[in-house]
């Protein structure tokens, strides 16, 4: 690819992996353009993956960089996650950012200097009976599988079952799927099987591709960067790259190799691959320095939402 640096990179699962500095060198020609959009996934991108999904934490350097970007003129920051918007904002607490929760079913913006708990969420219109169906499936799975390794993430009208801590992942996945199939017998919910989780979403629910389209329409950026580690993020990469092909925007789709096993589904849709969240943080930090003219974020912006640390959603 002509935009890639010339030095031979290391590879992971057969894909070249680049450093944050190399990604910044690729981004550099775009950094004179305004407005700029910086969009990112959370899990495995801004946070290291952990066994307990409620234990995930944003890397401090990534938070600092995103806070600086969020107060940089003509620069917008958006977080796009499968988590609910409330969960997401409680974990990252970046004032002035847009939050697309549940892949984009929930949209919210946290004004600068406001508390995370004050987030007002707009829900995508979906048939109301999916709320009850998702809750009924959640209850059925909880009752059938009382083991402690099961984590049920309610984000109605969607629900996700995590079993990454199960002693036997394959058996856990089969048990969860069996209860889901027995409850949603006519398969109204769309199944999204993950590596160690099963997510159920209503048909037609916005996903990250639609979320990226929405962000491009809303912010009309001249340059856009999207970072993510999973198949869901690859849909956003596709939308960004298609917009770039159409001459609508410049920018980069940046994959993060947090899961080498899914890299073959993600890397082909990206322009460059970073090794992990630490490299994402270094990239964002460099971006913030370039775009902010080396300005440090103001104390007020760094403090935005800090007082709401105890408001973070937790199970």
Binding site for Mg ion (CB under 5 A): 41, 43-44, 229-230
* Nearer CB in complex with Mg ion: 44/305: 44
Minimum distance from residue 269 beta carbon to Mg ion (Å): 14
* Nearer CB in complex with Mg ion: 44/221: 44
* Nearer CB in complex with Mg ion: 43/210: 43
Contact 241, 253 (CB under 8 A): yes
Minimum distance from residue 227 beta carbon to Mg ion (Å): 9
**Closest to 314 in 3D by CA, of 116, 136, 153:** 153
Minimum distance from residue 137 beta carbon to Mg ion (Å): 23
Q: Count of alpha carbons within 13 Å of 146, Cβ hemisphere only?
A: 1
Torsion, CA 124, CA 128, CA 129, CA 131, rounded to 10: 60
Contact 201, 189 (CB under 8 A): yes
* Nearer CB in complex with Mg ion: 233/250: 233
Across the strands, what pairs with 18?
274
* Nearer CB in complex with Mg ion: 63/175: 63
Minimum distance from residue 232 beta carbon to Mg ion (Å): 7
Minimum distance from residue 202 beta carbon to Mg ion (Å): 21
What DSSP character marks residue 215? H
* Nearer CB in complex with Mg ion: 44/209: 44
Is 20 in a helix, a strand, or coil? helix
β 10-12/15-17 pair status = antiparallel
Minimum distance from residue 49 beta carbon to Mg ion (Å): 8
**Closest to 80 in 3D by CA, of 215, 257, 247:** 215
């Amino acid at each position: 690819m002509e935009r890639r640096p010339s030095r031979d990179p290391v590879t992971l699962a057969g894909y070249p992996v680049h450093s944050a500095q190399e990604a910044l060198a690729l981004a550099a020609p775009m950094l004179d353009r305004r407005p700029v959009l910086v969009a990112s996934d959370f899990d495995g991108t801004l946070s290291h993956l952990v066994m307990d999904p409620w234990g995930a934490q944003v890397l401090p350097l990534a938070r600092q960089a995103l806070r600086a970007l969020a107060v940089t003129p003509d620069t917008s920051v958006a977080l796009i996650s499968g988590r609910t918007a409330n969960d997401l904002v409680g974990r990252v607490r970046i004032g002035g950012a847009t939050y697309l929760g549940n892949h984009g079913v929930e949209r919210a913006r946290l004004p600068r200097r406001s508390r995370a708990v004050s987030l007002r969420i707009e829900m995508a219109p979906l048939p109301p009976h999916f709320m009850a169906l998702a809750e009924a499936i959640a209850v059925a799975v909880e009752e059938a599988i009382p083991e402690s390794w099961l984590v049920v993430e309610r984000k109605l009208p969607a629900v996700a079952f995590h079993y990454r801590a199960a002693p036997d992942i394959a058996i856990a996945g089969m048990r969860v799927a069996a209860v889901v199939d027995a409850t949603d017998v006519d398969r109204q919910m769309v199944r999204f099987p993950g590596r160690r989780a099963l997510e159920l979403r209503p048909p037609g629910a916005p996903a990250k591709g639609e979320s990226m389209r929405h962000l491009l329409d809303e912010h009309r950026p001249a340059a856009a960067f999207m970072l993510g580690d999973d198949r869901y993020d690859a849909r956003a990469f596709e939308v960004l790259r298609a917009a770039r092909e159409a001459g609508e925007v410049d920018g980069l789709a940046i994959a993060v190799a947090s899961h080498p096993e899914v890299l073959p589904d993600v890397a082909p849709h990206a322009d460059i691959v970073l090794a992990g969240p630490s490299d994402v943080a270094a990239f964002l930090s460099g971006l913030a320095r370039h775009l902010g003219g080396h300005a440090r974020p103001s104390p007020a912006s760094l403090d935005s939402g800090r007082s709401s640390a105890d408001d973070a959603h937790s199970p």
